[in-house]
Amino acid sequence: MLNDIKTAREIVTPLKQYPHIRKDAPVSDAVAQLLGYCSTDGRCMYYEEILVVDDSQRLVGRLSIRDILTGFFPSILAPEPAGIFGGKKASFTDLSTLFEDSFRRECRRQATHTVGEFMSKAHEPIDAGIHPLHILEIMMKDGVNSLPVTEKGVLLGAVRMTDIFRILATYCTI
């Protein structure tokens, strides 16, 4: 039964196996991790975000694919500022810039910025002792796909929604 898995501690992806990076590292290193993070058996693991840590491996933020893309291309992808509603209007970005040489130059320039310049606030870590269904409840309520896991203030790693889904799928025939 689902009671076989009692805590986050049993399903956490350990920090040494979960993508993480220091705040002062270049964004290009984070992109390389997201694109090339593979398991020990050589299979590529696809992550939507990287945990950002300090020198003592304490969680200081998170860097998502969305953070990187909006940081690299704010004129195209940044949300429009809220204002007085003046009726529906069409909003089209000039995606043709993606095919210009200036786009490549801008990518190279942005890649030298630090992770700290692009990162966003990390979700409050969950304790290693909570049940997977409680983790799922937090994820659904907060609209996140992964949560950092700590035990006695030490960052252990993270749990992804796919981890919870795998557990549920073994107990539920769909």
Sequence-separated (6 or more) residues with CB below 8 Å from residue 122 = 51, 52, 59, 60, 61, 62, 148
Instruction: Answer whether residue 90 is part of any domain.
Output: no
Relative to beta strand 146-151, strand 126-127 is: parallel
Instruction: Answer whether residue 85 is part of any domain.
Output: no
pLDDT of residue 99: 61
For the record, the structure tokens of 24 come out as 């002062």
Range of the domain at 23: 2-79+95-171
pTM of the model: 0.77
Q: 118 falls in which pLDDT band (50, 70, 90)? A: very high
How many domains, the chain?
1
Please provide the average confidence, as pLDDT, over all residues in the chain. 83
Find how far residue 63's CA is from the centre of its chain.
Answer: 6
Instruction: Answer whether residue 61 is part of any domain.
Output: yes
User: Of 134, 136, 149, which Cα lies nearest the Cα of 20?
Assistant: 149
pLDDT of residue 35: 84
As beta bridge partners, residue 147 has 159
Q: 117 falls in which pLDDT band (50, 70, 90)? A: very high
pLDDT at 61 over 60: yes
